[in-house]
Amino acid sequence: MLSRKDKQYKAQIKRERSELLRSFSLDFVKLGANKNTDNSGVENRNFNESDEALMRRAMNVAKENLANPDFSIDDFAAQMLMSRSNLNIRMKALFGVSPLDFVKTVRFNEACRLLLEGKYNVAEISYRVGFATPSYFTAAFRHFMGCTPSQWLKDNKKSL
């Protein structure tokens, strides 16, 4: 039988876990990062503390290097203190996507947020999210999201 304090701690962990899953896994589903993978069950999985710490660390590393167009998976693995293969295995297990798709998703999430803010044009956003040229950003955005940044903004401004 768990004490009241233990139950409160478990409830707090469960809330934090749900928040993490909502901010990571569900955004991936919405943005299409895992359109070629089966993400069923990721939302209902039970993660231990080391998995949650890895999730936070991966998100922080990706966000810290958001504007760096030279940020590679090798750099990501080095900052995560893992080999590339181990990083790939852990990312697939936790998020259901490869490290490359994870970084792309973080970048496109930020791009979408900046588009909705309306402070920057598409070219400025492309540099802010780590793309070397606006034309490549637009092409990658279209491939990833299914429409151009301008079209995405028109469609999503209507729903706000």
**94-119 pLDDT per residue, tens:** 888 899 989 998 899 899 889 888 89
| Contact in structure between 129 and 145 (CB atoms under 8 Å) | no
Q: Count CB-CB contacts under 10 A for residue 151.
A: 13
CA distance 120 to 67: 15
Helix, strand and coil content of the chain, in percent to the nearest 5, comes to 70, 0, 30
Per-residue pLDDT of 9-21, as tens digits, reads: 667 766 655 555 4
Token pair, residue 133, equals 């040229």
* CATH number for position 97: 1.10.10.60
Work out how many domains the chain is built from and give that number: 1
Domain region containing 29: 4-158
Single pTM value for the model: 0.71
